[in-house]
Amino acid sequence: MRETVLEVIREAVHEALEGRGDVQGAALEEDTVLFGEGGLLDSMGLVTAVVAVEQALADRHGLVVSLADERALSRRNSPYRTVGTLADYTLELIGPAAP
């Protein structure tokens, strides 16, 4: 499941970067910084990527998760910091019911 989620995140981040004309296809490792200091995404990019992850999970896997809510925003360590932290947070929300 983790690999599936990572793939969805990579695709979503590329989609968000494309919208800004950033098409060089950055290699997205687990520790690639997405948001915050030195991150790939600005705030519009982050919103786009987060919504794209939600939509892809719903479209392809029938999973309805909300990656941006009070819980996500109030965490001390932002779940949006890196590809890996976003994957962790997504898996946490999907829970053990994951296919």
Partner 1 sequence: MRSPIAFLLEGFARGRDAEALVCAGRSVTYGELLEAVERTRARLDAAGLPRGAVVALEADFSPEAVAALLALIERGAVVVPLTDSVAARHETFRRIAQVEWRLAADGAPTATGLRAEHPFYTRLRREDHPGLVLFSSGSSGEPKAAVHDWLPLLEKFHAPRPALRTLAFLLFDHIGGLNTLLYGLANGACLVVVEDRGPETVCRAIERHRVELLPTSPTFLNLMLAGGAWRRHDLSSLRRITYGTEPMPQSTLERLHAVFPGVELQQTYGLSELGILRSKSRGPNSLWVKIGGEGFETRVVDGLLEIRARSAMLGYLNAPSPFTDDGWFRTGDAVEVEGEWMRILGRRSELINVGGEKVYPAEVESVLRTLDGVLEVAVTGEAHPLTGQIVKAVVRLAADEEPAAFRRRMRVHCRGRLAPYQIPQKVVFSDRPLHGERFKTLRREAGI
Question: Binding of partner 1 at residue 77 (CB under 8 A)?
Answer: no
Q: Which of 20, 16, 43, 30 minimizes the C-alpha distance to 86?
A: 30
Rounded least distance, CB 81 to partner 1, Å: 15
Question: Binding of partner 1 at residue 7 (CB under 8 A)?
Answer: no
Is the Cβ–Cβ distance between 12 and 59 less than 8 Å? no
Return the residue matching tokens 């939509």: 55
Exactly one of 7, 20, 75, 92 binds partner 1 (CB under 8 A); that residue is 20
Question: Binding of partner 1 at residue 55 (CB under 8 A)?
Answer: yes
In three state form, how does the secondary structure of 38-70 look? Answer: CCCCCHHHHHHHHHHHHHHHHHHHCCCCCCCCH
Indicate the DSSP class of residue 81: S
Rounded least distance, CB 60 to partner 1, Å: 8
Question: Binding of partner 1 at residue 26 (CB under 8 A)?
Answer: no
Give residues in contact with partner 1 (CB under 8 A): 11, 15, 18-21, 42-48, 50-52, 55-56, 59, 68-70, 72-73
